[in-house]
Amino acid sequence: MLTREKTALQGPSANSNSGHDRSTAFYPLPTQSDEEPALILEPSVFLGPSIGRLVDSHNNPPLVLIWSLVLRSLITMLILLKPSFLFFCLIVFIRSVISLPENPASNVICTQILPPRDVSRYFGLLGLLRSASKITAPTLGVLVTSSYGESTAIKISILMTLLASMLTVYAFHKYKHHDAHNNINNHKGEETVTSINKTPYSEENRNTNHRILKQLLWTVTTYSFMVFFINNQLPVLLRNSGYSMVLLGVLVTASGSGGILAASYLSRKHRSKHTDTMNPLQATIVSVIVIALCFVALGFTFMLPSSIAPYVATFLFFCTGMFSAIESIRANVVVVQEFPDNAGEVTAKMGSFRSIAMLIAPSIAAIFISHMASMSLLFIVDGGVGLVILIGITIAHMYSSPLKH
């Protein structure tokens, strides 16, 4: 929402200061880029790992999470002052920095309070809620903005963030009460498992963790590069190929629906012991391989007649959404299960590598488009390069030591 409020609150002057014309708002040029995405992503690239280490060393990660949410809501209030463009960019940058501890703190908390058997279900449920919110929140935002104005939408966003911080306080108050009750029961001879077991540190563990981390970072970076190689350019590609923006809405909805379905499956309460036949890293790699295959298939799909291509593309986008959700969920499971001692740092590194890919991929795609590359060629190149990298990761994974489940 923040990347859109500049134009909504300031009108044409904001775009003129950034060198953009309002006539390109819905049909951007392939090489056109905004300052805001860089301001949002660059803090993660340069500050993320340091923030992650700070979260790991902090004795109370819930407090870090709460303060991150509160400060983010406070800094968002400054947008209501309708600042100049430069001040708006500063607000976006500071807000991005303040938001950095959120994911590392969440994963560190998971290592401290979740039994191992509940980790996959927790991230499945979290993925389900996030997928649903990505579909419903923009729709509600448009309705509120059109009826009551942009300022009301921002105020609601601020209140929701503050509500999240209060719910976090309440949740950990309840958890401490429950934990104290369990400790009393333990003294009476009852045993409970309340956190991920931290393995003894050794040279062998260090080598194994280093190998897992390299494979994980390569996988999530490849995924992010493939997705954002296409994502930012998709409206331009569809328009240049003669499709209406209605198809864009259908494809986005199909992708979101696939994500909800996958997350719902992974978050169900009663799961068979044979449900997870792969370890989480293997599942992450396989899910990204499937996405790469879908992208190659999409390249050939858009060579079909325009009466057929949209239906096949909708199905393939549904599949990419489904396996994208699996990638996100399983990658976080790898972090929590394999890196319980430094989950914050690894989470931040993962976010940093994703951000690098998200910054680089659109520019490379824009170069292809400027040289008259078709949408079909772009999908095929994107998926093909991803497949080559992922095959290498898979071979490395096959020759590495077996991972614990």
| Contact by Cβ (8 Å): 155, 74 | no
Question: pTM value?
Answer: 0.80
Identify the helix (H) or strand (E) that includes residue 287: helix 280-301
d(C-alpha 325, C-alpha 255), whole Å: 10
| Residue given tokens 């954002």 in the structure block | 228
The domains of the chain, with CATH numbers, are 2-11+30-166+196-399 (1.20.1250.20)
Contacts of 1 (CB under 8 A, 6+ apart): 141, 153, 154, 157
Pairs from 122-126 (Cβ < 8 Å, separation ≥ 24):
123/266, 123/329, 123/330, 123/332, 123/333, 123/336, 124/263, 124/264, 124/265, 124/266, 124/267, 124/268, 124/329, 125/263, 125/267, 126/329
Which range, of 50-54, 218-222, 236-240, 271-275, averages the lowest pLDDT?
Answer: 271-275
Continuous segment of H or E residues that includes residue 373 = none
Residue 271 is predicted with a pLDDT of 59
State CA 263 to chain mean position distance. 14
Q: What is the pLDDT of residues 125-142, one digit of tens each?
A: 988 888 888 778 888 888
Mean pLDDT of the chain: 80
Give pLDDT, residue 20: 38
Cα distances (Å, whole numbers) of residue 185 to 80, 106, 180, 190, 234: 51, 27, 9, 5, 57
Give 238-270 as a DSSP string.
HHHTT--HHHHHHHHHHHHHHHHHHHHHHH-SS
Residue 203: the pLDDT is 58
Backbone angles phi and psi of 194, in degrees to 5 = -120, 0
At residue 363, the pLDDT reads: 87
Burial of 259 (0-12, 13-18, 19+ CB in 10 A): buried
Residue bearing tokens 């949002």: 40
Q: Where residue 16 falls among pLDDT bands split at 50, 70, 90?
A: very low
Decide if 235 contacts 245 (C-beta within 8 A). yes
Check if the beta carbon of residue 88 is closer than 8 Å to that of residue 121.
no
CB neighbour list of residue 42: distance below 8 Å, 6 or more residues apart:
93, 96, 355, 359
pLDDT at residue 7 tops 70: no
pLDDT at 41 over 70: yes
Q: How many CB atoms lie within 10 A of CB 140?
A: 12
